[in-house]
Amino acid sequence: MTTLTFTARKTERIAEQKTSCLVLPLFEGRVLNDELTAVDNACDGMITRSLALGDFSGKSGTKAELTGSAQAKRILLVGCGDSASFDQQAQRKFAATAAKAMAAGKYSDALVSIASLPLDGSDATDLLEMLARQLCLATYVYTETLSKPKDLPALKKVTVNPGSLVSSAKAKTHLAMGQAVGNGANFTRQLVNLPGNVCTPSYLATQARALAKRHSKVSTTVLDEKKMKELGMGSLLSVGNGSDEPSKLIVMEYKGGKAKEAPYALVGKGITFDTGGISLKPGPKMDEMKFDMGGAGAVFGTLQAVADMGLPINVVGVVAAAENMPSGRATKPGDVVTSMSGKTIEILNTDAEGRLVLCDALTYVGRYKPREVVDIATLTGAIIVALGNHASGIFANDDALAQDLVAAGNRADDRAWQLPVWQDYQKQLDSPFADVANIGVGGGNAGSITAACFLARFTEEYRWAHMDIAGTAFSSSPKGATGRPVALLVDYLRQRAGQ
Residues 212 and 111 in one domain: no
Q: Taking every pair of C-alpha atoms in the chain, what is the biggest distance, in angstroms?
A: 82
Q: Which of 59, 54, 56, 53 is nearest to 79 (CA)?
A: 59
* Range of the structural domain that residue 27 is part of: 5-162
Residues 274 and 314 in one domain: yes
Check which CATH number belongs to the domain holding 369 and give it: 3.40.630.10
Residues 232 and 131 in one domain: no
Per residue of the chain (499 residues), give pLDDT as tens: 678 999 999 998 999 999 999 999 999 986 798 999 999 999 999 999 999 998 999 999 999 999 999 999 999 999 999 999 999 999 999 999 999 999 999 999 999 999 999 999 899 999 999 999 999 999 999 999 999 988 999 999 999 999 999 999 999 999 999 999 999 999 999 999 999 999 999 999 999 999 999 999 999 999 999 999 999 999 999 999 999 999 999 999 999 999 999 999 999 999 999 999 999 999 999 999 999 999 999 999 999 999 999 999 999 999 999 999 999 999 999 999 999 999 999 999 999 999 999 999 999 999 999 999 999 999 999 999 999 999 999 999 999 999 999 999 999 999 999 999 999 999 999 999 999 999 998 756 899 999 999 999 999 999 999 999 999 999 999 999 999 999 999 999 999 999 9
Residue 173, in any domain of the structure: no
3-state secondary structure (DSSP) of residue 46: helix
SS (HEC) of 332-347? CCCCEEECCCCCEEEC
Residues 61 and 108 in one domain: yes
Residue 461, in any domain of the structure: yes
Q: Which of 343, 229, 338, 333 is nearest to 280 (CA)?
A: 333
Residue 174, in any domain of the structure: no
What is the number of residues in the chain?
Answer: 499
Instruction: State the DSSP code for 348.
Output: S
Amino acid code (one letter) for 201: P
- Residue 281 bears catalytic tag: yes
Instruction: State the DSSP code for 476.
Output: E
Distance CA 159, CA 22 (A): 10
Q: What pLDDT is attached to residue 3?
A: 87
Residue 180, in any domain of the structure: no
176 DSSP β-pair partners? none
Residues 228 and 285 in one domain: yes
Residues 47 and 141 in one domain: yes
Residues 460 and 332 in one domain: yes
Q: Note the helical H segments in 375-424.
A: 382-387, 399-412
pTM: 0.97
**How buried is residue 259: exposed, middle or buried, by Cβ count under 10 Å (0-12/13-18/19+)?**
exposed
Kind of pairing, strands 218-223 and 336-338? unpaired
Q: What pLDDT is attached to residue 317?
A: 98
Residues 352 and 226 in one domain: yes
Residue 59, in any domain of the structure: yes
Total of domains in the chain? 2
Catalytic residue among 74, 93, 355, 484, which? Answer: 355
Last residue of a domain, one of 162, 197, 212: 162
Q: Which of 413, 496, 415 is nearest to 129 (CA)?
A: 413
Cα torsion angle, 332, 247, 480, 125, sign: positive
Residues 69 and 14 in one domain: yes
Check which CATH number belongs to the domain holding 153 and give it: 3.40.220.10
Residue 206, in any domain of the structure: yes
Distance CA 97, CA 64 (A): 11
Residues 300 and 199 in one domain: yes
Residue 170, in any domain of the structure: no
As a whole number of Å, the CA-based R_g of the chain is 25
Residues 291 and 203 in one domain: yes
Catalytic residue among 209, 281, 457, 463, which? Answer: 281
Distance CA 393, CA 326 (A): 29
Q: Which of 429, 492, 443, 436 is nearest to 463 (CA)?
A: 492
Distance CA 117, CA 328 (A): 64
Distance CA 405, CA 138 (A): 25
> For residues 97, 102, 106 and 108, what is the CA-based torsion angle, rounded to 10 degrees?
180
Residue 167, in any domain of the structure: no
Residues 145 and 191 in one domain: no
